Amino acid sequence: MKYVNADTIFPKELLEEIQKYINGGMVYIPKPEESHVKWGEKSGSRKYLRSRNIEICLRFAVGATVDQLSDEYCLSRDSIKKIVYSKK
């Protein structure tokens, strides 16, 4: 996030109105709600993890043990249990 001087971007009237609430301080202006994205959606991480977890569940359903899956996916036994026993 880049610092921008309010004098250079806001009209004078708007700047004066903002100064009534905070004078000389720093203000963060968030993006609109509709432009927010969930974690991992831009990078593809969310999709990758969902696919990996489905694969783990399928392998567990056909007989792979928690220990086998833990070793193969380099995850803790507890992480594997959370994945295979979740109600999704």
Residues 6+ apart with CB under 8 A from 58: none
The pLDDT value given to residue 2: 82
pTM for this structure?
A: 0.62
Low-confidence ranges of the chain (pLDDT < 50): none
Question: What is the pLDDT at residue 9?
Answer: 92
Alpha-carbon dihedral of residues 6, 10, 11, 13, nearest 10 degrees? -70
Per-residue DSSP letter, 11: -
Q: Secondary structure of the chain: what % helix, strand, coil (to 5)?
A: 60, 0, 40
